[in-house]
Chain A
Amino acid sequence: ETGVTQSPTHLIKTRGQQVTLRCSSQSGHNTVSWYQQALGQGPQFIFQYYREEENGRGNFPPRFSGLQFPNYSSELNVNALELDDSALYLCASSLVEVPGEAFFGQGTRLTVV
């Protein structure tokens, strides 16, 4: 098992810019989910991908988008960054057959200034 890895670990962007965050899933996992975690709060579900298609989405606007690649790695893209987008972004991989049991990366800390 290689675990879930995310890159970069920290990032500073300017309001209005675009950002791409990357995630490499645990070997054998077919599902990737992304979460946003504000300081002192629990994670908020952004969306989930299974077999390269989005199959679930939380209450986030369309400027949050993603991709899942055949090797189960994933990207989260955020356009037109806002100050409130500053947060820890978490990637989680899992098996669709075992929902809820997710393996998390350490996250990317995004700061929008």
Chain B
Amino acid sequence: GNSVTQMEGPVTLSEEAFLTINCTYTATGYPSLFWYVQYPGEGLQLLLKATKADDKGSNKGFEATYRKETTSFHLEKGSVQVSDSAVYFCALRGGGNYQLIWGAGTKLIIKP
């Protein structure tokens, strides 16, 4: 079945550091891939998405590229801020299936 694996957290970085959160997936066919973010005290929000191989999703300085050859969708940001502290979830939606399959989430802590 479809599944998503994320790197375990928490990930602790200093402000302005480079961020990578790894996400790999197992799926049949050609899934769509998503990153959602959950800020403290708030609901899940869509951060970015990619719907086909080699697509790059981007938003708020975050980027992720859909790599079919490595079944990965790693989240990156060149210079993180304290306000980026949150829990980040990688998710996929398989073709013809409406449900989202989620990773366990990665907590990101940015220190000033």
Q: What is the interface of chain A, defined by CB distance below 8 A to chain B? A: 4, 31, 33, 40-45, 48, 55-56, 58, 90, 92, 96, 99-107
Contacts and interface: CB of A to CB of B under 8 A. Distances in A.
Interface of B: 4, 32, 34, 41-46, 49, 89, 91, 93, 97-105
A42 B91 contact: yes
Contacts of A104: 43-45
A81 to B, nearest CB: 23
A107 B43 CA distance: 7
Nearest to A37: B102
Nearest to B4: A42
A33 B98 contact: yes
Contacts of B98: 31, 33, 48, 55-56, 96, 99
